Amino acid sequence: MKSSTYLTASLLIISMVLGAAYASERGARDGIFDLRVTGAQDRNASWEHILEVLQRRSGMTLSSSDFVLAEDRVLSTSRFRMYLQISRGLPIDGMSVRVWSEKAGDGLIQLEARLESEAFHLFTPLVLDADRLSAGLSWDETFGISRKIVRGDSDYVLQSGSDAGLGSPSFRDVWSAGNPIRVVRFRGLRGFHIIRISLLTHEVLSASYRPFRTLGAERGPIPVQVYPIYEEVEGRGVLLQRFPGELRYLHAAIKRPSADPFSMLRFRRYLESDEDPILGEFPAGQARGKWSMASVLRQVAAIQATLAESPNSFESGGVSLQGRFATVAIHPDAVEAYRLRLSSGLSWSSRFLPDWVSYSGTGSNEQLEMIPKAGLFGFPLRTQDAAWNRSARRLPGHDAAEYLKDGFDEVQVYWAITRFFESLIPMGFADPELSSRPFGAFLYNPDPAMRDNAFYVDDTIHFTTYSPGSINYARDNTTIWHELGHGLMERLMGTFLEVADTGGLSEGLADFLSDIVVQDVSGGVRFEGSDQFRISNRTGFHLTNEEHDDGEAYGGALKDLLNLAIAKYGRRGLWMVTDLVLETMRLCRNHPELTTAVWFDHLLFADSRGTHGLREPGAFGGMVQSALANRNFDLGRGKPAQFRLVYEGREVGAENLGSRERPVSRTLGKSSKFRFEVSVKNGAAYRFRFPVTVRVHFRAGPLQGPIRWDGEELNRPRDLIVNSERNRISFDVSTPGVCEETGTSVRQAKGCTDYVYLELWNAGESWKPQGKKRFYLRLR
């Protein structure tokens, strides 16, 4: 095999992301075979034995040549291996064998397999092997096809919110239902584009958009004053008190280059149209103007290795915030945006930032380019007293330049990231490398399109600037810990993981991991605003149609479980439930389609195994059942209750017209009217208390308000009363077609996106609603 082809195949395997329908039953189904075996059924975890079991149970003819080892990793409680099923040199999309075994010895803990029969490939010409299929669609053609969709397809532009970025590409060629396809993934400005292209016809089969998940030797600790939870209660205008804390694990020596160390990489332009993950790896391709992010990162690492270290101490000019668990840097564009001078105390760091910006060169055709930059260390801590007395002014307009000069936000973020590790490591997050790899943070991104935001991507939290009505997310630890929760999920559950349904599990787990740290920091004592967290709710499963609302059901169920555990075991219950959830995350690693049922089934399996010295086997089975009973979810698979929102004869589901993924489009400046129908139906176990109220909001939801709706000036919701399951209530919503705000990631220039928010309230309920639905509209 030629070296370039070998590299292609290697990159395809390494970068593969699983995605296929999960069958809960075991056995062949439409050519798909699913199997789950636990250590209670079979203790032999050798690969030879597993192959024999798979052949016997599936009836397929299998050998080691039908698989390739994609991952072999030691976790805190087990060894994890993942084998991808291949056919004629290409991986089969979503097909794999995942094995968890004991770290000492080879005893099986859990085996999960999803395999596809070769019968799916009988009608594909044998001559179409991996080399021929991959070579038949060049990268230039792939990029051109993808670009046409991302920037030219009106429906997709609507779905992605006009995110036209096409950076950091990766692709994998796989079999999918017997057809050879190329799955391409680009990083945009606010999310990821995923495009599936037929390798036979070169037609686009599907396109989807996934937003980023939104928010050496060491010196001794430095005493500081920080907010243990947050600066202010959102929506209440109540400022809280700071408490004593410490900046721990700071490196005694760090790299402080005298200039941007990555400026030497700016000898050329890194246009998105020239980024090629294959040709960009070789001198011949680079001579043609091609580049790859992998090649850039190798150059970054080489530059970092040449930089000399200097003392990070008060005596050497001050202490900068780089340590065992965190590096906090200032976005390099903030220096020019706020007219700051490097001589005033800011200094360059070795933290790399691939900054994607609009390219305005000749013939740019609205494309982006990546500019390699370094972050900057903020104003150093020059003395113990200066660190303790750093000002934490809360300015009415959130003046970023003044905040940057005060230097408090960096202190708060460093402390919060460190506290995240300090809370979770003793409670079970002790996985080699995963629990010690630091997170990074960039503050004060001045781009107005990113305002009022905090988001996580690639081991890094990004903070922006904030409008007067917003809170400062760099001082809100619950946001920081939520975003780090996404990072912990990525580390423990694997980059191959595919979450089913709305994706609410990701939001719910991030909320729960944040709440674990809140519980640890607060000692379980109530504080101002503690009753307003999103995780404290009554939201049921199957009663929402958007991932953050769906996440309330996941997070709320785990919160209910935690409350039951603390009521029974006291503060030890916090450690026990944290250990249980972390182990469940490991046991779901790289799952091809993680549904609600599969997640809680694995939670019960983790409970059945226990943890020596902490959890007895089966300690939480009854509590899990109790927590789910109030959430419209029955592990016995009883029929759930329903809350239906119908538009134009079709329910507004998570992927249907009117959802966040597919907003209805109307012309900016023209009046529009929409008719809906709502109804509710009891489930086998979950019952509503009639009459229920459906409350229609225009401004109460998160990031709600860019579109002007008729009647919103009354500043109160509309209540619809549903007296019984037989009632179907119709109502209208209208808009003059006016955007009241434009210019941020949600309120796009040249138009805006907004939603109508519906809450379902049981009779007599006054705390939190039981269900939530959204209807999205885009004016353009």
Average pLDDT (245-273) is: 94
pLDDT at 453: 84
pLDDT at 596: 92
pLDDT at 11: 29
Average pLDDT (736-763) is: 75
Average pLDDT (324-348) is: 88
- Residue 210's pLDDT band, with cuts at 50, 70 and 90, is confident
pLDDT at 161: 65
Long-range contacts of 147-155 (CB under 8 A, 24+ apart): 147/273, 149/195, 149/204, 149/207, 150/186, 150/188, 150/193, 150/195, 150/207, 151/366, 153/207, 155/662
Q: In what order do the strands lie in the sheet with 650-651?
A: 650-651, 642-647, 672-681, 729-735
Give φ, ψ of 133 to 5 degrees.
-65, -45
Please name the residue that has the structure tokens 């226990």.
Answer: 610
pLDDT at 326: 96
- The amino acid sitting at 344 is S
CB 735 within 8 A of CB 713: no
Higher pLDDT, residue 190 or 534 = 534
pLDDT at 447 over 90: no
- pLDDT (tens digit, 9 = 90+) per residue, 580-604? 999 999 999 999 999 999 999 999 9
pLDDT at 129: 63
- pLDDT (tens digit, 9 = 90+) per residue, 129-173? 666 777 788 888 888 888 888 877 766 766 666 677 777 777 888
Query: pTM to 2 decimals?
Result: 0.84
Average pLDDT (485-504) is: 90
| Strands 27-29 vs 32-38: parallel, antiparallel or unpaired | antiparallel
pLDDT at 127: 46
pLDDT at 371: 93
CB 274 within 8 A of CB 290: yes
pLDDT at 699: 83
pLDDT at 107: 93
Pull the structure tokens for residue 581: 């959830």
Alpha-helical (H) ranges within 473-503 are 477-493
Pull the structure tokens for residue 126: 């044998």
Q: First vs last Cα of the chain: how many Å apart?
A: 51
pLDDT at 28: 41
3-state secondary structure 411-465: HHHHHHHHHHHHHHCCCCCCCCCCCCCCEEEEECCCCHHHCCCEEEECCEEEECC
- The amino acid sitting at 661 is E
Average pLDDT (393-420) is: 95
pLDDT at 744: 39
Average pLDDT (544-551) is: 92
- The amino acid sitting at 47 is W
- Residue 213's pLDDT band, with cuts at 50, 70 and 90, is low
Q: Which residues contact 32 (CB under 8 A, 6 or more apart)?
A: 20, 21, 23, 114, 115, 116, 117
pLDDT at 154: 66
By three-state DSSP, how is residue 487 classified?
Answer: helix
- pLDDT (tens digit, 9 = 90+) per residue, 340-351? 877 678 999 999
pLDDT at 623: 94
Pull the structure tokens for residue 360: 């305005």
pLDDT at 15: 31
CA-to-CA dists, residue 577 to 566, 668, 764, angstroms: 9, 50, 32
Spatial CA neighbour of 516 closest among 441, 597, 426, 606: 426
Average pLDDT (560-588) is: 96
- Residue 2's pLDDT band, with cuts at 50, 70 and 90, is very low
Torsion on CA atoms 147, 153, 156, 161, rounded to nearest 10 = 80
pLDDT at 468: 87
Instruction: Encode 59-88: b = buried (16+ Cβ within 10 Å), e = exposed.
Output: ebebeeebbbebbebebbbbbbbbbbbbbb
- pLDDT (tens digit, 9 = 90+) per residue, 60-71? 999 999 999 999
pLDDT at 396 over 70: yes
- pLDDT (tens digit, 9 = 90+) per residue, 616-635? 999 998 999 999 988 999 87
Q: Which residues contact 405 (CB under 8 A, 6 or more apart)?
A: 340, 379
pLDDT at 27: 41
Counting beta carbons within 10 angstroms of the beta carbon of residue 681, is it exposed (0 to 12), middle (13 to 18) or buried (19 or more)?
middle
- Indicate if the alpha-carbon torsion angle 219, 220, 226, 229 is positive or negative: positive
pLDDT at 363: 55
pLDDT at 9 over 60: no
Average pLDDT across the chain, whole number? 87
Average pLDDT (355-384) is: 84
Higher pLDDT, residue 167 or 765 = 765
Give φ, ψ of 629 to 5 degrees.
-60, -30
Please name the residue that has the structure tokens 């990766």.
Answer: 170
- pLDDT (tens digit, 9 = 90+) per residue, 73-109? 999 999 999 999 998 888 888 899 999 999 887 799 9
